[in-house]
Amino acid sequence: MLDSILESLHVISLPTKTNFRSVTSREVALFEGPAGWAEFSPFLEYDAKECVPWLVSAVESATQSAPEPVRTSIPVNATLPAVNGSERIAEILSWYPGCSSIKIKIGGNLEADLKRISDVRTLSPNASIRIDVNGSWTIDQARVALQSICQGGPIQYVEQPCSTIEELRELKKLLNGEVLIAGDEILRKAHDPLSVDLRDAVDIVMLKVAPLGGISRSLEIAKKHGLPVVVSSALESAIGLSYGLKLAASLPELPYACGLATGKLLGSDVAELALMGGFIEVTSPTPAPDALINHRVSDEKLSWWRERIRSTWVEGAQDWASAEGWVW
Ligand SMILES: [Mg+2]
């Protein structure tokens, strides 16, 4: 299977329109298997071990057909990176026509965070606001910040306010249901996302297909925890995002808009996932041949990615794929 992956491999670098996760271009590896196109795009600093589920997810999408969908289009939220200034915020929000939920990245300077949230509320007074802290608050900081934030109006939920399970549990007790907590890194960065005990720690789980090892694994995780789910992305190209859309399409319940419109943060993509009225249709996009050529990385970079795939395969993706019985 490794040879087949490497044979059809394209590695491209897509420009981003904003600085997201300190990334100004997004490198993604794409390959085509018997069941369709697949994306392998762990962030560049991840080691082979952390890359394993990402490769497993890609192999699943290349070799397995997606589960039966229960919906054909997915409600999505606008994603606002940690940018400042009302004009810049208005510009970014205009990229998401019809989206009635807005996820705001915060967790830096509290004053700047409050200003960003207040700018969004002024620009989109009817939108539902959710905030993502990426685990950067202590319990005390979370308590103080949430109090100030909620004075400006309600929020849908706060995503990963603190980093550890103990802190989340303590905070949840303090919040007493007044603000819902969503867990992201607590699951995604866990050694075994199936065995994390999320009881009394979070109200909602974020599922990201690639870091969790694919659709079937994500469905298993959702079932295990039995909490409402929001499917989100890792700033993938349209190929990786389409896989998130398929996961969202197959979940029995989908109570919240999903973070799958992040293609809008890319300056250029390999395919178009049309966003209309706040929804994206579930499709199986094919990369445009021009895009694969125009955005391809240097030969040196390509060799680095081929080696990365090889070491990730050996590190654990191979065993995982063969345990699943996937063949190519
Ligand atoms: Mg998050």
CA 4 to ligand 1 centroid distance, Å? 33
Beta-carbon contacts of residue 247 (< 8 Å; ≥ 6 apart): 207, 209, 215, 218, 219, 231
Residue 23 has pLDDT above 80, yes or no: no
From residue 308, alpha-carbon distances to 16, 54, 56, 103, 189 in Å are 23, 12, 14, 32, 20
Beta-carbon contacts of residue 323 (< 8 Å; ≥ 6 apart): none
The CA distance from 62 to 241, in Å, is 14
CA 208 to ligand 1 centroid distance, Å? 9
Choosing from 17, 49, 103, 105, the catalytic residue is: 105
CA 32 to ligand 1 centroid distance, Å? 29
pLDDT for 192: 93
Strand pairing class (10-20; 23-33): antiparallel
**pLDDT level of residue 19 (50, 70, 90 thresholds):** confident
Beta-carbon contacts of residue 234 (< 8 Å; ≥ 6 apart): 41, 43, 208, 210, 211, 240
> What's the whole-number average pLDDT of the chain?
96
Q: Report the run of H or E that residue 158 belongs to, with start and end.
A: strand 158-159
Q: Do domains 2-64+288-324 and 73-281 have the same CATH topology?
A: no
Find the angle CA(88)-CA(94)-CA(99) to the nearest 5 degrees.
Answer: 125
The CA distance from 98 to 233, in Å, is 19
Superfamily of domain 73-281, CATH level 4: Enolase-like C-terminal domain (3.20.20.120)
CA 162 to ligand 1 centroid distance, Å? 11
pTM of the model: 0.96
DSSP 66: P
Tens of pLDDT, residues 227-243: 999 999 999 999 999 99
pLDDT for 20: 65
CA 260 to ligand 1 centroid distance, Å? 12
**Over pLDDT 90: what percentage of the chain?**
97
Tens of pLDDT, residues 71-105: 999 999 999 999 999 999 999 999 999 999 999 99
Tens of pLDDT, residues 105-157: 998 999 999 999 999 999 999 999 999 999 999 999 999 999 999 999 999 99
CA 6 to ligand 1 centroid distance, Å? 31
CA 164 to ligand 1 centroid distance, Å? 14
Nearest CA-CA partner of 227 in 260, 252, 250: 252
CA 183 to ligand 1 centroid distance, Å? 8
3-state SS assignment for residue 238? helix
Question: Can you give the residue ranges of every domain in the chain?
Answer: 2-64+288-324, 73-281
- Is 115 annotated in the active site? no
- Is 105 annotated in the active site? yes
CA 118 to ligand 1 centroid distance, Å? 20
**Tally of CB atoms within 10 A around 114:** 16
Choosing from 103, 172, 208, 246, the catalytic residue is: 208
In this structure, what token pair is assigned to residue 151?
A: 């004075």
**Over pLDDT 70: what percentage of the chain?**
99
The CA distance from 218 to 224, in Å, is 10
Superfamily of domain 2-64+288-324, CATH level 4: Enolase-like, N-terminal domain (3.30.390.10)
CA 160 to ligand 1 centroid distance, Å? 7
CA 159 to ligand 1 centroid distance, Å? 6
3-state helix, strand, coil in the chain (%, to 5): 40, 20, 40
pLDDT for 24: 85
